Amino acid sequence: MTEKRATIYLASPLGFSRENNPYRERIKRRLGELGCSVFDPWEQEEVAQRIKEAMSVEEGAERARAIKEAARFTGAVNAQGLKGSDLVLAVLDGTEPDSGTVAELGYGCGIGKKCYGLRTDFRDCGDFPGVPLNLQVLYFIEESGGRLFRRIEEIDL
């Protein structure tokens, strides 16, 4: 009997720039080494197609409606991805972690998923000296049973 592979929801802002793809791929490679499958919101082709179509609509009310519908569809796909995943890994680099990534992390924690964070950025952005993240974000990661990793190689789920 084969053991079920854990599915990880990879929350990150890394799809906004193609230049981040190698970093995202390194994270996914590490998760694969741990025997995990990955739900990557940036790889959801129907989401990308709907956003592209909405952005191609001529400026005005119709475009605003199309963008709103594409955004709602995207949110629903990501919520289903979170619900269908076993764990959440949120990439929390930057001077302030990405709001969408933090929302995905919070949603995952709220529905009972064990959540992990990855912050390779050496700068603290927390509320107190020596705290690497906003205290709420760090609390929710740890309260869920997860932990914060500081290097990709440290990821151990």
Each residue's pLDDT tens digit, 53-86? 999 999 999 999 999 999 999 999 999 999 999 9
Is-contact 153 118, C-beta < 8 A?
A: no
Domain positions in the chain? 7-43+87-154
Q: What is the pLDDT of residues 101-135, one digit of tens each?
A: 999 999 999 999 999 999 999 999 988 888 999 99
Q: Which CATH class is domain 7-43+87-154?
A: alpha beta
Q: What is the pTM of this model?
A: 0.93
Tell me, rounded to whole angstroms, the distance of Cα 151 from its chain centroid: 16
Angle in degrees, CA 76, 142, 33, rounded to 5: 70
